[in-house]
Amino acid sequence: MTMTLQIEYLALVKKNKLAQWAIVSFLNIFFNFVLKQKNQKMNAPFSKYLYIGFLLLGLYQAIFSKDYVQAAASMGIGLAFDPFNPEQKWNDRPTWQKAVLIIHLALVAAMFGFGIGLNDK
């Protein structure tokens, strides 16, 4: 276990957030694997899984953890992984794909604003 993971583990255990530590450590291991695949192009099916994973992680953080800023960050990272054909230009995409991505971006912005608004004192 790396030092970073140990520090995150200790911080989250003190807050009784062991499930979040498990998610953080899984994503850390997963991204270390992904970063080792430097010369390979990311294909669409793999992108879909990452997109859905970050979307579900963001929803978990919003619904169960009530951490809206972190949820917005996770869902925003999900937008980096285009769930559709990444080679297709924006103008060539069908309208429904554009709508899905724009609604997702609006949800991220709303979640970020909601998180900041709740923490405003």
Q: Which residues of 2-32 are buried (b: 16+ CB within 10 A; e: fewer)?
A: eeeeeebbeebeeeebeebbebbbebeeeee
Please list the pLDDT of the chain residue by residue as tens digits (121 residues).
555 555 555 565 566 566 666 666 666 666 666 555 554 555 557 788 889 999 999 999 989 988 889 999 999 999 988 888 888 899 999 999 999 999 999 999 998 998 888 876 5
pLDDT of residue 45: 73
Residue 46: predicted pLDDT = 78
Specify the pLDDT at position 104.
92
Please give the pLDDT value at position 88: 85
The pLDDT score that the predictor gives to residue 106 is 94
H or E, element range at 38: none
- The helix or strand, by DSSP H or E, that contains position 53, with its residue range, turns out to be helix 44-63
| 85 alpha carbon, distance to own chain's centre | 19
